[in-house]
Structure 1
Amino acid sequence: MSPLLPDTRPRRVLALATLVGTIGKGIFLTSGVLYFTRSAHLPVKQVGIGLSVAGFISVAIGIFAGYLADRRGARGIYVASLVLGGLATAGFCLVSSFWPFLVVASLAAAAQGAGLIARGPLIRRYGGKRPQEFRAYIQSVTNVGISVGAAVAGWAAQADTRSAYLLIVVGNAVLLLASAAIMLCLPPVPPEVPAEGPRWLALRDRPYIALSLLDGILSIQYRVLTVAIPLWLVSQTSAPRWLISAIVIANTAIVVLFQVRASKSIDSPRAAGLTLRRSGVAFLISCVAIAWSAGVPTWVAVIMLVIATVVHSVGELWQAAGGFEISFELAPSHSQGQYLGVFGIGLGLAESFGPALLTSLCIGLGKPGWYIVGLLFLAAGLAQPAAVRWAERTRHIYREPAAPKAPGVPSDSSSSAA
């Protein structure tokens, strides 16, 4: 097992905490909606509205959490977010109406968003010379954890009883608290920048914000396999329904096995921009293949969907690897937290708007909708290299904060004059 494990204790702690926490996430991602609708008896529309509002709150909190991580220490913010997430998740057991559900869901989503952002500086700190590779490893661990959680949630969905659903809610809460306890094995991380350092610098960095939004468009792809394809397969193709599970399993296996390898060849923001451009092309090809799976014999539909899944998964590898490089390397070291929080805006918007966009276009319009979505992915990918060059040209504006002067040391202008 040693080649599969990180080579330092801090990395192993981070990986274990991630695995434990994401098992809980996988449980809730798979069966959370079932709990709200079948156990808490909330209307589907209210659940959708509540989760969307919680998603927007998560985006805003992520930026603030990154700011705090820079100034208060990333480990403390990460642990606090895990504890809050565990307590909020346990609070779902008491939910039986819309407004309490909205409050608890917002707290849980805010904690999750804050945790993802606060973990970024920790990956940067303990990732060595190539933190992107360690980030890719963490991504693989995340996929493993979510898959395990999804398998556990399948039992609850099959049982379809309140006791089973309550058990998975409590299990998710316990796993989040366990993840927080594991993180306490890491020593506290000192702040990256003093309290008087630059405030909200990332929100003024237009090239970086543009890259975040472009990444958000590409990130809609995360909902293609879990939202659009299942609905498309059932309503528009003759493919067997078990293929839905096979598609998710195949995608997970590809990401787990090849994410680290895909990140090794990306050693600069420009290389990342070119990789993101390739991901846009891959997503277009995948969307076309999915569209062509309708109205054809079953065996042809299966082949087209398998091809689409493999090509889409390769595009996902490229997009994740390119996004890791850009988000880290174009962020000043003194503001890693708030920059990663801003980069998360795109993903947050994709999480909120992606399902509605995909269902309205791909399911509502049929084949033309898939072509539109594919072209949207292509346009976002093609724009990445130019956006990266723009960001590189402006990095000098967001330089390191000046070190505080010791008493009696002359100013720069005095020194120059001398």
Structure 2
Amino acid sequence: MSRPSRRTAPGERIPLGKRIPGGQDGRRMLVVSFVDRVGSGLWGATAALYFTFAAGLSTAEIGLLLGASGAIGVAGPPLGGALADRVPLRPLLIAVQLVRAVASLALLSTTDLRLLLAIASLGSLGDRASAVLTKLYASRVAGPDRARYQAINRTAANSGWAIGGLIAAAALTGGSVAVYRWLLIGDAFSFVASALITLGCAEPPSATRVVASSDPRGQEEQDGRPGKTAPGAVRGTAHGPAPGAAPPNPWRDRGYLTFTATEAVLFLDDSVFKIGLPLWAATATNAPHELAPLLLVLNNVLVVLFQVPLARFGATPHTARATLRPLAGAFLLGGAALAASTAGAPWLAVGALVLAAIAFTAAEMLHATISWELSIALAPPSAQGAYLGVHGLAQAVQRSVGPLAVTAAIAAGPLGWLGFGAGLAAMCGAQRHLVRDRGDGALSVAPVTVSEH
């Protein structure tokens, strides 16, 4: 039986296990995220350089390698999520980490483009599957505090990525080809270390047990009378589907698929920072070119400082749905600031670009907590892994179409950025309409029908 929550008295010291949801296992998984991202920072900053100077590939071959392996990696989230509903989660996560380590080390063994493509595709599948499995593990060990845990996890991951990038930058001052190989080995070692840390974690409770234990009202009474639905226990019961019934299939759930499609659009803030801001600042404004990397640093620092405090905006499904309104405002402000950055003196351009970076960073943090909560709350507990795997496609699709959308906004000039911000704001409204408040302590997605004609 769950115990009633107790508020902390002013000045009372909170035990570490209470400050971080999930207890000891939750803390270990934060270390996993940090170590994983340190390795990703080492490799992400030097991948193109390694394939150029160590593997001897041309620019066109590198583009083909990264593009094709990324496209194949799109299958990682649904594959990992589907497996997580059928096998124990902890050993699956360990296996995926080891696959990533093997793929990284295997890149050192060949310079043949075809072999590199096969190896990179395997690593890409592991990377995308690992993200979904880590999210699923966190949702199970953190329970009702999953929004706060996810915020802490993003802070740890961003810190790891920044440290990995700084190490890579310092190492590259040596100018030796051997440095690229050692950075790749460091990336592989981070996956091995993550697997070893995960080995010390316990198998998390199943999704149905998490729902059942989060609130005693979510369980059926012992005498067979149905109980009330617990807040957050949506679109399913604590005991899964009826005996003999097939588990819910996310590929046949048009409402959840439509929700995932809206998510792919709202994740476009990622392409804004990777492509939009640097290109726009350098080609369309009077701001100094050295401002572009500083805007990325500003983004990283703001996420580390404010992601956890902003987690309260996604503490419950209802709060997450309501936060779509301020998210729309952040997107509008960011688009307007980029449009305004072309006018006036250099200092005005710098001010507008900084404001745009702050607005899109706020949008990134708000959407992260909204997306985390709604993607889980709208998934049936008996098929949570499969549903989260499908939701993982949103970011994968964004990585493919995001650069096209952002460069189209740049080509259209200031009006393009105004339309870009307005379009994202409109998508927030569409998602809020799609995600319905049922009025009984739960949310659902509106039914979506497809014409037969």
Residue 409 of structure 2 contacts residue 416 of structure 2 at CA under 8 Å; is this kept in 1? yes
Flag structure 2 segments of 5+ consecutive residues without an equivalent.
1-13, 209-239, 448-453
Written as runs of structure 1 = structure 2, the 5 A alignment for 1:6-405 is 6=20, 8-189=23-204, 198-199=246-247, 201-359=249-407, 361-389=408-436, 392-393=443-444
Q: Which amino acid aligns with 2:409?
A: C
Structure 2 vs 1, CA of residues 114 and 307 (structure 1 numbering), >3 Å: closer, same or farther? same
Q: Which amino acid aligns with 2:417?
A: W
Q: Which amino acid aligns with 2:399?
A: E
Note the C-alpha offset of 1:112: 0.6
Note the C-alpha offset of 1:276: 2.6
For the residues of structure 1 that align with 2:249 and 2:437, how far apart are their CA atoms?
A: 17
Q: Which has more helix, going by share of residues?
A: 1
Note the C-alpha offset of 1:65: 0.9
191-200 or 115-124, which deviates more: 191-200
Note the C-alpha offset of 1:191: 5.9
SS in 2 for 1:128: helix
Note the C-alpha offset of 1:156: 4.0
Structure 1, residues 239-276: CA drift from partner, whole Å, max 9, x if none?
A: 22332222112111111121122121334334322323
For the residues of structure 2 that align with 1:265 and 1:131, how far apart are their CA atoms?
A: 12
Residue 74 of structure 1 contacts residue 119 of structure 1 at CA under 8 Å; is this kept in 2? no
TM-score scaled to structure 1, two decimals?
0.87
30-39 or 143-152, which deviates more: 30-39
Identity percentage of aligned residues = 28
Structure 2 vs 1, CA of residues 99 and 191 (structure 1 numbering), >3 Å: closer, same or farther? farther
Computed over aligned residues only, the root mean square deviation of the Cα atoms, in angstroms, reads: 2.5
For the residues of structure 2 that align with 1:116 and 1:250, how far apart are their CA atoms?
A: 24
Q: Which amino acid aligns with 1:233?
A: A
Residue 270 of structure 1 contacts residue 389 of structure 1 at CA under 8 Å; is this kept in 2? no
For the residues of structure 2 that align with 1:39 and 1:372, how far apart are their CA atoms?
A: 43
Q: Which amino acid aligns with 1:293?
A: S
For the residues of structure 1 that align with 2:445 and 2:419, how far apart are their CA atoms?
A: 33
Structure 1, residues 286-307: CA drift from partner, whole Å, max 9, x if none?
A: 1221232225321111111111
Structure 1, residues 28-54: CA drift from partner, whole Å, max 9, x if none?
A: 222212222233222223322332322
Residue 435 of structure 2 contacts residue 446 of structure 2 at CA under 8 Å; is this kept in 1? no
TM-score scaled to structure 2, two decimals?
0.81
SS in 2 for 1:130: helix
For the residues of structure 1 that align with 2:172 and 2:419, how far apart are their CA atoms?
A: 34
Q: Which amino acid aligns with 2:98?
A: V
Note the C-alpha offset of 1:283: 1.8
Q: Which amino acid aligns with 1:387?
A: L
Residue 228 of structure 1 contacts residue 358 of structure 1 at CA under 8 Å; is this kept in 2? yes
Structure 2 vs 1, CA of residues 108 and 304 (structure 1 numbering), >3 Å: closer, same or farther? same
Note the C-alpha offset of 1:190: 6.5
Structure 2 vs 1, CA of residues 286 and 160 (structure 1 numbering), >3 Å: closer, same or farther? farther
For the residues of structure 1 that align with 2:402 and 2:326, how far apart are their CA atoms?
A: 21
Structure 1, residues 300-359: CA drift from partner, whole Å, max 9, x if none?
A: 111111111111111111111110110111112222211111111111100122123322
For the residues of structure 2 that align with 1:303 and 1:192, how far apart are their CA atoms?
A: 47
For the residues of structure 2 that align with 1:68 and 1:264, how far apart are their CA atoms?
A: 31
SS in 1 for 2:323: helix
Note the C-alpha offset of 1:2: 7.7
Structure 2 vs 1, CA of residues 47 and 372 (structure 1 numbering), >3 Å: closer, same or farther? farther
For the residues of structure 2 that align with 1:96 and 1:301, how far apart are their CA atoms?
A: 45
SS in 2 for 1:331: coil
Structure 2 vs 1, CA of residues 196 and 39 (structure 1 numbering), >3 Å: closer, same or farther? farther
Residue 310 of structure 2 contacts residue 366 of structure 2 at CA under 8 Å; is this kept in 1? yes
Structure 2 vs 1, CA of residues 358 and 156 (structure 1 numbering), >3 Å: closer, same or farther? farther
Residue 277 of structure 1 contacts residue 384 of structure 1 at CA under 8 Å; is this kept in 2? no
Residue 286 of structure 1 contacts residue 308 of structure 1 at CA under 8 Å; is this kept in 2? yes
Q: Which amino acid aligns with 1:29?
A: G
SS in 1 for 2:20: coil
For the residues of structure 1 that align with 2:74 and 2:369, how far apart are their CA atoms?
A: 22
Residue 155 of structure 2 contacts residue 303 of structure 2 at CA under 8 Å; is this kept in 1? yes
Residue 75 of structure 1 contacts residue 119 of structure 1 at CA under 8 Å; is this kept in 2? no
For the residues of structure 2 that align with 1:56 and 1:275, how far apart are their CA atoms?
A: 32
For the residues of structure 2 that align with 1:343 and 1:160, how far apart are their CA atoms?
A: 41
Flag structure 1 segments of 5+ consecutive residues without an equivalent.
397-418
Q: Which amino acid aligns with 1:239?
A: A
SS in 2 for 1:57: helix
For the residues of structure 2 that align with 1:40 and 1:149, how far apart are their CA atoms?
A: 22
Note the C-alpha offset of 1:151: 0.9
Structure 2 vs 1, CA of residues 213 and 247 (structure 1 numbering), >3 Å: closer, same or farther? same
